[in-house]
Amino acid sequence: MSARVITGYITVLFALLYLLPLSLRPLISPDESRYGAIALEMLHNHDWWSLKLVGLSYYEKPPMGYWLTASSMALFGENAWGLRFAPALAALVTALATGAIAKRICALPHIGLIATAVQLTLIFPWVFGNVAILDGIFTAFITACVAFFVHAATDSERRWRMFFLVLSGVAAAGAFLTKGFLGLAFPAIIAGGWLIWQKRWRDLFVLPLVPIASAIVISAPLIIQIHKHNPGFWDYFFWVEHVRRFTSPDGNQHPEPWWYFLPMLPVGALLWTLNIGKVWSGFRTSLFRGRGASLCAVWIALPLLLLSASSGKLPAYILPIFPAFSIVIAISLLHYFSKTTLTTFADQLGRWLLVAVALLCASFILTGHQWLYADQLWRDNSTWRFGLLALALLAWAALDHWAQRTHVPAHRLMRMAFSPAPMLMIAGLLLPDALIEKSKIGVETLRAQSQDLAQAHTLIVDANMATCVVYSTKRFDMTFIGPGGELDNELNLPHEQARFITREQVLAQVALAQRTGSVALVIMRNDLKAFQAPDAPKPQSQFIDGDVSVALFTQVK
């Protein structure tokens, strides 16, 4: 199998796993609707510097991720595909950078392309490459930064070394402008720890100077511009988003114990961790003990220690660690399959289990599946979903058999990467309706009412639904019903507080707004009971879906 053929495999794999599913599921609130709302406000207001969420100052992250999302939406449209394209592209950049590092530190045939394929098919990179959040973009910058530094540290020609060091600093600046100081800390501890392991003391103090200077030159003008348009941003961002989140469990949004990330690592590395025995055997017996092993060990251990020391933790935070896992998996399995061509009992058992589950799903279509409570999960669409699931599992088993038929290590690993592709492609279609509702997916709920909401003279919205309303209507001039929820603005600026009302003030606010024009109200279902009072304004029409209610009021002259 030539490098061109493997590149073609990877291209198809990326298209099937990352591009094709981008529009197959509804947007998830609050994360995707939040970042979509920020990007839309930049586009519609033609202001790429002010950091605003529905008109409120929003200082949780620097603007690089929002710029990339807004650019993607400007290019591909204000839809789910445009919103999610930037994270998908970032996943590809991460995978290509991972492959470049693997090729640089290991001389095995096609190792760079295989490491790229492994990175694309790990569960965490795949999941977050299909979701519009900033962690995938941040990981792409971090991995590119490490890749350029590794090339510089292993290159004998001075001019190319300087070129790669400059690019490493540019990537570090991108990481910093996406999520802040972790974008500098991650590359620093990875590169520094690697050089210390190799006892390259002179390089430890000399090589980082160029990336540091490059990052400063790139970041400084942007930092100044951000400060000019958002005067309190850097003060708030440093003390609240870094110092307090890192040190204070009471001030943290996601407090978790120190060991939280340990079980996340094998889960995030699925489905390749199903081959953990082969990975360990290949790693233990291979020559993967030089600079490659030291780089991957440092890359996994030091960021994990840093993140574990923080009070706040989310699964996406460890996304920058998985490129090192991909390199270890690719090198270890390539060495393992170069030493043995046997198909184990576990390999055959796994394939037959897939066939058995597929046949079981098919039998549910013929015999009925009411006893499985599938209708409660998937409402009236359970039959075709069972059929789709059965076909995907059979395809997985067939591709797995295809992978085991070849004894060429590179061929086998590329086919193994393809095996679960049918299942991953349809995963978004198999999400249970009950899970979607519990995930607060409000954009789809409001889709049918978006035109009425957009045309209303006054828009009053529960703060928990604000980003969904913005994404659905492209309107930013609304009054919010507090407490803030997603808009719990810690800045407490006086001019922003004027846009908030309490639930007790809703009736009076609707009545007052009716004097100047029509009113649209988006509120929780239970709060709508207040309008049943005799003297309360009467809605012209109501729409209720789950816990969300939309009420429309005409103008009262």
In SS3 terms, 474-530 reads as: CCCCCEEECCCHHHCCCCCCHHHHCCEECHHHHHHHHHHHCCCCCEEEEEEHHHHHH
More confident residue, 304 or 436: 304
Q: Between 409-418 and 322-339, two packed helices, what is the crossing angle to 10 degrees?
A: 130
Whether the pLDDT of residue 100 is over 70: the answer is: yes
pLDDT tens by residue, 351-383: 888 999 899 888 877 766 555 555 556 665 677
Query: pLDDT band at residue 38, thresholds of 50, 70 and 90?
Result: very high
Question: Tell me, what DSSP letter sits at residue 109?
Answer: T
Question: Tell me, what DSSP letter sits at residue 372?
Answer: G
In angstroms, the CA 477 to CA 479 distance is 7
Instruction: Determine if residue 368 is left, alpha or beta; phi over 0 gives left, psi from -120 to 50 gives alpha, anything else beta.
Output: left
Contact 473, 56 (CB under 8 A): no
Tokens read off for 48: 């790429």
Whether the pLDDT of residue 510 is over 60: the answer is: yes
Contact 489, 57 (CB under 8 A): yes
Tokens read off for 454: 């957009």
Integer distance in angstroms from the first to the last C-alpha of the chain? 77
How far CA 552 is from CA of 117, 456, 516, in Å, comes to 51, 8, 14
State the pLDDT at residue 525: 80
More confident residue, 486 or 352: 352
Question: What are the helix (H) ranges across 286-321?
Answer: 291-309
Q: Determine the 3-state secondary structure of 180 from DSSP.
A: coil
Q: 316-330, 381-395, 512-526: which has the minimum mean pLDDT?
A: 381-395
pLDDT tens by residue, 202-215: 999 999 999 999 99
pLDDT > 90: percent of the chain: 53
Range 377-395 burial, b when 16+ CB lie within 10 A, else e: bbeeebeebbeebbbbbbb
More confident residue, 220 or 447: 220
State the pLDDT at residue 405: 87
N residues, the chain: 557
State the pLDDT at residue 319: 97
What integer is the mean pLDDT of 69-75? 96
State the pLDDT at residue 340: 79
More confident residue, 388 or 148: 148
More confident residue, 122 or 1: 122
Q: 141-150, 169-178, 388-397: which has the minimum mean pLDDT?
A: 388-397
Contact 170, 279 (CB under 8 A): no
State the pLDDT at residue 496: 81
Top mean pLDDT of 81-95, 298-312, 517-531 is at 81-95
In degrees and rounded to multiples of 5, residue 520 shows phi and psi of -115, 130
In angstroms, the CA 275 to CA 329 distance is 9
State the pLDDT at residue 102: 94
State the pLDDT at residue 372: 57
In the chain, the amino acid numbered 538 is K
Sheet holding 541-545, edge to edge: 500-501, 479-481, 458-462, 519-524, 548-553, 541-545
Give the residue carrying structure tokens 């409402």.
379
In angstroms, the CA 248 to CA 250 distance is 5
Whether the pLDDT of residue 435 is over 80: the answer is: no
pLDDT tens by residue, 304-348: 999 998 877 889 999 999 999 999 999 999 988 888 777 777 778
Instruction: Determine if residue 54 is left, alpha or beta; phi over 0 gives left, psi from -120 to 50 gives alpha, anything else beta.
Output: left
Contacts 24+ apart (CB under 8 A), 250-254: 252/311, 252/312, 253/312, 254/312, 254/313, 254/314
- 520 forms bridges with which residues in the sheet? 459, 552
Strands (E) across 31-158 are located at: 52-53, 56-57
Whether the pLDDT of residue 296 is over 80: the answer is: yes
Question: For strand 500-501 and strand 479-481, is the pairing parallel, antiparallel, or unpaired?
Answer: parallel
Mean of all residue pLDDT scores within the chain = 87
Q: 93-107, 208-222, 415-429: which has the minimum mean pLDDT?
A: 415-429
Instruction: Determine if residue 546 is left, alpha or beta; phi over 0 gives left, psi from -120 to 50 gives alpha, anything else beta.
Output: left
How far CA 497 is from CA of 483, 492, 494, in Å, comes to 11, 7, 5
In angstroms, the CA 512 to CA 499 distance is 15
Q: Determine the 3-state secondary structure of 464 from DSSP.
A: helix
State the pLDDT at residue 369: 56
In angstroms, the CA 525 to CA 363 distance is 40
- pTM of the full structure: 0.93
In the chain, the amino acid numbered 266 is P
Contact 91, 140 (CB under 8 A): yes
Question: Tell me, what DSSP letter sits at residue 110?
Answer: T
Residue 432: which residues within 8 A CB-CB, separation 6 or more? 377, 378
pLDDT tens by residue, 226-273: 999 999 899 988 888 877 776 665 555 667 888 899 999 999 998 898
**What is the rounded (10 degree) CA torsion for 191, 66, 421, 417?**
-10
pLDDT > 70: percent of the chain: 91
State the pLDDT at residue 28: 80
Give the residue carrying structure tokens 């998908």.
88
Other C-beta atoms lying within 10 Å of the C-beta of residue 312: 19
In angstroms, the CA 33 to CA 463 distance is 13
In the chain, the amino acid numbered 138 is F
Q: Which of 403, 412, 399, 405 is nearest to 358 (CA)?
A: 399
Q: 197-201, 338-342, 432-436, 553-557: which has the minimum mean pLDDT?
A: 432-436
